[in-house]
Amino acid sequence: MAGLMDIFLLKERVNGERDNIFMILFEKASILLALLLITLIGVALELPGWGVAVLLGASLGPVVYGHYYFIYIRPVKKKQNLDDDGKRA
C-alpha cells in the first residue's frame, strides 16, 4: 500500500504531465459528492446525529484514498507495467 508521501509524489508526477485545473476541480467535487451521498444514506437510514458522523468519519479515508488511487496511482502503475513488459521483450 502506498504511503501518504508516495501519493503526493505520484500526484506531482501525474500533474506534471497534464496540469489541468478542471481535473483538480473534478477530483475535489467528486470526493465531496461521494461524501454527500454517504451522508444522505446515513440520514435515510434514520441514524442519530452521532451515527451519521461516525459513518461519514469512517468512510472519509477510503473515499479519498479510492479517488486518489484511480486518478493518480493506477495510471502510474499501468505505465510502469507497460514499461516493464517492453523491457522484458
Number of domains in the chain: 1
- Three cell numbers written together for 75: 495510471
Residue 59 contacts residue 31 (beta carbons within 8 Å): no
Give me the pLDDT at residue 44, please: 96
**468512510: which residue's cell?**
59
pLDDT, block means (10 residues), the chain with 89 residues: 65 62 82 95 95 94 88 77 63
Buried b (16+ CB within 10 A) or exposed e, 47-60: eeeeebeebbeebe
What is the pTM for the complete model shown?
Answer: 0.68
Give me the pLDDT at residue 75, please: 77
Neighbours of 68 (CB within 10 A): 19
- Three cell numbers written together for 86: 517492453
Provide the residue range defining the domain that includes 47: 4-88
